[in-house]
Structure 1
């Protein structure tokens, strides 16, 4: 089995009102339970807003630490799930379920070095 990262991208701004968010979270919990029952779930978590980020960067003189996100954008990584899946099609099926539940875009990406996914990240830039 390969591992895939399912990244949840959410728009910057005010989150949905509690009555909407409750339904979304109920749907996300149901997908999470199906992943666990299928033996696909490895790990998941939600992230605080980009404003809570701290970036550590190597500079000529040492290390520079700055507050805020590394990149500014209209969308940001709001959460993620790592799944075990036999292939990309199976991982995409979980991604579709998560997209339905969250109503947000989900990026599905294999981990580098995984069987049948080895070298993909490194080869793209060469």
Structure 2
């Protein structure tokens, strides 16, 4: 099963770290990502820039509205995603509970929707077939 792990962070904590502290935290996180890779559990991931650089789209009154930034009532914003391969939710929780990033902020773990994932994969294959 595939899981999307949303890592949240309070960016003020990062701003308060020295460059050496930040490098140490990132190295610790990446070292655990290597453990996940070795076990065949790391299926991808990306870090995100500060939420202040985001644009949020909403459909209202028949129009698309774009607004700067997210509008969450929390200091913790999504800082990145990790795509995890695990046997089930319990296994995903077990794997991510060891990730050093959890000390920085919470991780939300969600299973992917396999039905829609299959539809997307079929559409991708059809698109590539038409393209060639």
Q: Which bracket does the TM-score occupy, shorter chain normalised?
A: 0.7 to 0.9
Residue matched to 1:10: 9
TM-score by length of 1: 0.79
SS for the counterpart of 1:73 is coil
> Does the aligned pair in 2 maintain the 1:28–1:102 contact within 8 Å?
no
In structure 2, distance between residues paired with 1:101 and 1:71? 21
Please identify the structure whose Cα radius of gyration is greater.
2
- The answer on whether the counterparts of 1:31 and 1:101 sit within 8 Å (CA) in structure 2 is no
- TM-superposed CA distance for 1:61, in Å, is 4.1
Q: Match for residue 109 of structure 1?
A: 110
Distance across 1 between alignment mates of 2:95 and 2:82 = 10
Per the alignment, residue 40 of structure 1 pairs with 41
Q: CA deviation at 1:90?
A: 1.5
Instruction: Select the structure that is richer in helix.
Output: 2
CA distance 1:65–1:101, change in 2 (3 Å): closer
Q: Is the 8 A contact 2:7 2:101 kept in 1?
A: no
- TM-score with structure 2 length normalisation? 0.75
SS at match of 2:12: coil
| C-alpha spacing 1:64/1:97, structure 2 compared with 1 (3 Å) | same
- The question of 1:81 aligning with 2:82 is answered yes
Q: Runs (4+) of structure 1 moved beyond 6 Å?
A: none
Q: Which runs of 5+ in 2 are unaligned?
A: 116-132
* Alignment coverage as a number of residue pairs: 112
2:130 is matched with which residue? none
